[in-house]
């Protein structure tokens, strides 16, 4: 017998996606950790949002936002 004991049968994510589940299966819960608490989400950085329709306008603000998002974040929301 292995020193680690026996394996638990855990359904794959693909199998879970086929079902209508209303709560997280207990196998995926980690109850030995303190929950993460974020009190002030306003102070967290926000992923840049780019309006693609404004990129061709005469106003360069959206283009500057796109430039900043690509350089600083590497991605953005549309």
Residue 26 has φ and ψ, to the nearest 5°, of -60, -25
The answer to which of 18-22, 24-28, 62-66, 67-71 has the lowest mean pLDDT is: 24-28
Q: Where are the domains of the chain?
A: 13-73
Beta bridge partners of 77: 49
User: Which of these, 20, 30, 24, 74, lies nearest to 48 by C-alpha position?
Assistant: 74
Quote the pLDDT of residue 30.
80
- Does the pTM of the predicted model rise above 0.85? no
Q: Rounded CA gap, 9 and 27, in Å? A: 9
Q: What per-residue confidence (pLDDT) applies to 44?
A: 77
Which pLDDT does position 2 carry in this prediction?
Answer: 56
Kindly tell me if the per-residue pLDDT of 18 is higher than 80. Answer: yes
- Residues 39, 13 contacting (CB under 8 angstroms): no
């Amino acid at each position: 017998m292995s020193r680690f004991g026996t394996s638990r049968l855990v359904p794959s994510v693909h199998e879970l996606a086929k079902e209508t589940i209303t709560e997280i299966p207990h196998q995926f819960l980690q109850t030995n950790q303190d929950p993460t608490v974020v009190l002030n989400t306003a102070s967290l950085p926000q992923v840049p949002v780019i309006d693609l329709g404004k990129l061709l306008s005469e106003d360069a603000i959206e283009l500057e936002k796109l430039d900043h998002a690509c350089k600083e974040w590497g991605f953005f929301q549309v």
